[in-house]
C-alpha cells in the first residue's frame, strides 16, 4: 500500500500490458485458451451430472422394486 494518502500509486492493482493486436481489438490466444478450458469443464460437468442422475434413477428403481416385492412375499 502507498506510504502517504497523497501518493496512491499501486493502490488499485496492476493492469496487464496489452499487445498491439489486443489494442486493435484482435483477442489474444490466452483468451481463446481460457474459453476452450471453460467449455471442456462445462462439458465434463454436464456428463458427470447425467451419470449421477442415471445412477440415482437406477438405484431408486431398484429400491422401489425391492420394496414392492417384499410385502408380496410376507
pLDDT averaged per 10 residues, the chain (length 74): 60 72 72 88 97 92 74 54
Burial class (CB in 10 A: 0-12, 13-18, 19+), 22: middle
Q: Say how far apart CA 3 and CA 9 lie, in whole Å.
A: 10
CB 11 within 8 A of CB 2: yes
What is the value of pTM for the model shown?
0.49
pLDDT at 26: 72
Amino acid at each position: 500500500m502507498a506510504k502517504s494518502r497523497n501518493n496512491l500509486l499501486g493502490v488499485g492493482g496492476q493492469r496487464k500490458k496489452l499487445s498491439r493486436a489486443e489494442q486493435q481489438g484482435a483477442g489474444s490466444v490466452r483468451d481463446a485458451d481460457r474459453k476452450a478450458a471453460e467449455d471442456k469443464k462445462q462439458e465434463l460437468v454436464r456428463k458427470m451430472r447425467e451419470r449421477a442422475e442415471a445412477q440415482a434413477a437406477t438405484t431408486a428403481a431398484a429400491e422401489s422394486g425391492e420394496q414392492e416385492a417384499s410385502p408380496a412375499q410376507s
